[in-house]
């Protein structure tokens, strides 16, 4: 059985993705409510609510095959203030890496180190934050590569994330796991541009991980919607009518098309401030009917929660997305226990990693690397 440690663990979605053949030796998250959810699903043994700045290698017992770190994204995202790795939140990368350096000094180097974050990591501070992370891998004796994965390949949610994967230099790389050149869809133009800006010394340690694309997803957004949701209530007819009144003619045309589709259609609605014909800012409701939901985000920072518009012929209803539906969008099965409080559950799921993406990377990359 392979072993792992999970930093910034949240509700343990990386653990869910890795699966039962992986043994957790350590997990941390400073958010006590997230820790409570982790314990509710995985037990009390491995998780601590220590801030990563307070964690040391002595908190981790044993040899670790893989370290997973979904460090905070606020300072790297478009919605953030642009502080990058110098920011209060995303800057926790550095105390995390200090723990890695302690493990290396103790001759307990993790075989694989995985970092997950938003795509803003590639361009933050004109790419310098990405280059700093790459230099950390290089300096610590790891070859490394990256993939960009849109969770919509696995679940009905548009959620693009960067996964940086480093492997100890003394681990042999099966030639089937690397490509001599970047390959779509996981090596995007944006990633290639960031890699091209690495200094030659660092670029020598970069590899293009060769990950197969998954089978075609056969679950749509409408498939995960509950007929009798818990924790949310259907809007009144007047509330739904008001939502429609906020739509532009183009968005109303989308609703009309959904009514004519001869099947139930589910649209995700966001309220945005837009300029009208006179240049005045007005609130608009924008709807998107596709087989995927918009990216789940945490309520903090001004990100709005998703409203659903369910169209079945002439019948139009609306409501907030339920927390169980958000969990399904993260690839969690219905046995996963969620907080009873709506905002806490929404925050937990919106701040996590999509479990089937982790499973795909584990099956096609991590596990072959460890068995080679």
Indicate which residues carry an active-site annotation.
73
Tokens of 34: 């997230």
Cα–Cα nearest to 123, from 188, 213, 204? 188
Contact yes or no for 265/220 (Cβ under 8 A): no
Beta bridge partners of 24: 4
CA-to-CA distance for 111 and 303, rounded, in angstroms? 37
Where does the chain have alpha helices with state H?
Answer: 13-18, 32-42, 93-105, 120-123, 128-139, 189-196, 200-203, 237-245, 249-259, 323-329, 342-350, 355-361, 367-371
Nearest Cα to Cα of residue 241 among 221, 255, 257:
255
- Please tell me whether residue 162 adopts helix, strand or coil conformation: strand
Give the helix ranges, DSSP H, for 124-206.
Answer: 128-139, 189-196, 200-203
**For the chain, what is the largest distance between any 2 Cα atoms, rounded to a whole number of angstroms?**
67
Find the DSSP H helices in 197-339: 200-203, 237-245, 249-259, 323-329
Tell me whether strands 112-117 and 160-168 are parallel, antiparallel or unpaired: antiparallel
Tokens of 215: 């089978």
**How far from chain centre, in Å, is Cα 284?**
27
**In contact, 131 and 206? CB cutoff 8 Å:** no
> Sign (positive/negative) of CA torsion 176, 180, 183, 186?
positive
Q: Rounded to an integer, what distance in angstroms lies between the CA atom of residue 347 and that of residue 349?
A: 6
350 and 330 in contact (C-beta within 8 Å)? no
């Amino acid at each position: 059985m392979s072993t792992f440690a999970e930093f910034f663990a949240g509700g343990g979605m990386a653990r869910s993705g890795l699966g039962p053949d992986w043994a957790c030796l350590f997990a941390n998250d400073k958010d006590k409510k997230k820790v409570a959810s982790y314990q509710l699903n995985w037990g009390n043994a491995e998780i601590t609510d220590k801030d990563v700045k307070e964690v040391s290698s002595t908190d981790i017992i044993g040899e670790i095959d893989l370290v997973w770190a979904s460090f905070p994204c606020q300072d790297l995202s478009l919605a953030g203030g642009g502080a990058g790795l110098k920011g209060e939140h995303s800057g926790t990368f550095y105390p995390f890496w200090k723990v890695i350096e302690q493990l290396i000094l103790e001759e307990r180097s993790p075989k694989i180190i995985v970092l997950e974050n938003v795509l803003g990591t590639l361009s933050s501070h004109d790419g310098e934050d990405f280059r700093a992370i790459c230099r950390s891998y290089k300096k610590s004796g790891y070859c490394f590569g990256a993939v960009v994965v849109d969770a919509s390949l696995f679940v009905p949610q548009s959620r693009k994330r960067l996964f940086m994967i480093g492997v100890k230099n003394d681990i042999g790389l099966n030639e089937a796991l690397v490509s001599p050149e970047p390959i779509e869809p996981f090596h995007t133009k944006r990633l290639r541009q960031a890699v091209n800006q690495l200094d030659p010394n660092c670029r020598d340690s970069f590899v293009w991980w060769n990950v197969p694309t998954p089978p075609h997803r056969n679950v749509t957004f409408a498939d995960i919607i509950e007929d009798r949701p818990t924790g949310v209530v259907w809007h009144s007819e007047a509330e739904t009518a008001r939502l429609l009144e906020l739509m532009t003619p183009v968005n109303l045309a989308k609703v009309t098309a959904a009514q004519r589709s001869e099947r139930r259609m589910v649209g995700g609605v966001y309220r945005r401030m837009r300029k009208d014909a006179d240049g005045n800012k007005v609130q608009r409701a924008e709807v998107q009917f596709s087989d995927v939901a918009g990216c789940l985000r945490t309520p903090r920072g001004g990100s709005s929660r998703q409203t659903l518009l369910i169209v079945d012929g002439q019948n139009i209803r609306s409501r907030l997305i339920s927390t169980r539906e958000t969990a399904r969008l993260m690839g969690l099965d219905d046995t996963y226990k969620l907080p009873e409080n709506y905002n806490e559950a929404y925050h937990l799921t919106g701040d996590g990693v999509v479990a089937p993406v982790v499973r795909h990377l584990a099956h096609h990359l991590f596990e072959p690397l460890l068995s080679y």
